[in-house]
Chains A and B, each alone.
Chain A
Amino acid sequence: MEKLYNERLERYVTAMQNKKPDKVPIRPFVAEFVAKYAGYTCQEVTHNADKAFAAVRKCAKDFDWDAVVGNMVYVWTGMTEAASLKYYRVPGIDLSPDEAFQYVEPANEAEAHMRADEYDQLIDDPTGFLANVWLPRVSRDLSKDEEACNYRSNLAWLKGGIAMMKYFQGFGVQADLLKKESGTVGAIAGALKAPCDILADKLRGYRQLSADMFRRPEKVVAACEALRPHMMYNAIASADPTKTVPISVWLHRGCAPFMSYQAYEKFYWPTLKQIILDLWSIGYQVLFYAEGNWDQNLKYTAELPDRCIIYHVDRGDIFEVHKQVGHKFCLSGGIPNDLLTYGSPDDVRSLCKKIIDAVAKDGGYIMDAGAIIQQDAKTENVKAMTEFTREYGVY
């Protein structure tokens, strides 16, 4: 099994260096798909991290994948319920047990987790703001500044923190088991978000941030800059200490139609670029997981040094991306998720062939779907993607 692991690791790392390995690596970001395959409901894998880990390992044993994420159902609702976080719709509570969890973004100023007049508080002391204002505001149990501390509040802090520690330990055990049981590589380590996405997703909401870009642009710029060193710190804190596998940055609203390139240039890109450059300067690659269609941003992405990112294609045109930046970066993705859900195995094989022929011919390509693979993907299509790539994608 160690030999298999080492072969897969070599394959994966070689491709990420934009070189030609022995075969096209397969690294599907399987999320709730693993639940369906392993016979669990979405509720089970979302609420019970041990079942999520077990489901991933079952898939890793049955599919010839080179690398996977230890658990791609990225929210453990056991922990978020312990901390009483309000912003999720949870399968088995708010949703049917067979639906994936949902994040509920603030829809208006009244619901915003950070108010418009609180930018200076965030900028002045980001950690203090999160602990004193943001977390109490997004939790049902954590007492707000003006309230007396109480039993539920104390326990919510305690349980949330302990749950996080348990979860982190679980990932370590999972990586080891994946290696020993199926010779599968842990695909990524370390989490990063663009400061502007943090403002949109978790603090102001996308609508409010869009208005802020016009009404208080200097605050948005300053807030992104205040968040930048903390994003950097947290990315490194959970990264692979050997720097072999990349840190992943999950990119949300930097693309059309959410953001014009002018707004991207002013608000989104500067701090994201600096973080990527700073990480590269100390030896870390970043998986640039660009959700949606980021083709209009390619002129900015192309500013980055060669090999500093693995560029992931979701709804963009992978063939065009390859033409523009394939000489600089390894690419991954390009198989549309709706093809895995609604297409046939022949459709999947046909597209895999096109991509391998055009994009992977000189190496520097990793097979994956455009977005995380959820419970709606047909098993026979995921099998077809895997088996075809393994058979045809040989150099």
Chain B
Amino acid sequence: MPEEKIVKKPGVCIPWEEKIKEYQKITGDENILKQVWEDIDNLAYVYIWFCLIAA
């Protein structure tokens, strides 16, 4: 069965749902990993779109 495509929402470059597949195991708090991943990923998103809109 083909893998379901993860649709990127505004604010996202690499969705957490895609990133987490790279980890064999999460031994600690997944929410911390998710939150920080999404915060920094969002900065990259803002940069890409800033180049388009205002630079």
Contacts and interface: CB of A to CB of B under 8 A. Distances in A.
A125 interface: yes
Contact of A127 (B45, B53, B55): B45
B36 interface: no
Main DSSP-derived SS at the B contact region: helix
B54 A85 contact: no
Nearest to B42: A237
B43 A191 contact: no
A80 B55 CA distance: 7
Given A135-B51, A230-B49, A127 B12 contact: yes
Contact of A131 (B10, B46, B48): B48
A63 to B, nearest CB: 26
Size class of the contact patch on chain A? 20 to 34
Given A128-B8, A161-B43, A161-B44, A234 B51 contact: no
Contact of B46 (A128, A192, A193, A234): A234
B8 A125 contact: yes
Main DSSP-derived SS at the A contact region: helix
Given A161-B43, A237-B46, A131 B13 contact: yes
Interface residues of B, number: 19
A128 B9 CA distance: 11
Interface in A294-323: none
A39 B44 CA distance: 36
Given A125-B8, A127-B45, A128-B8, A193 B53 contact: yes
30 contacts: A74-B54, A75-B54, A75-B55, A76-B55, A79-B55, A83-B55, A85-B51, A127-B8, A127-B45, A127-B48, A134-B52, A135-B48, A160-B47, A160-B51, A161-B47, A165-B43, A191-B53, A191-B54, A192-B53, A193-B53, A198-B52, A198-B53, A229-B9, A230-B10, A230-B49, A231-B53, A234-B10, A234-B49, A234-B50, A237-B46
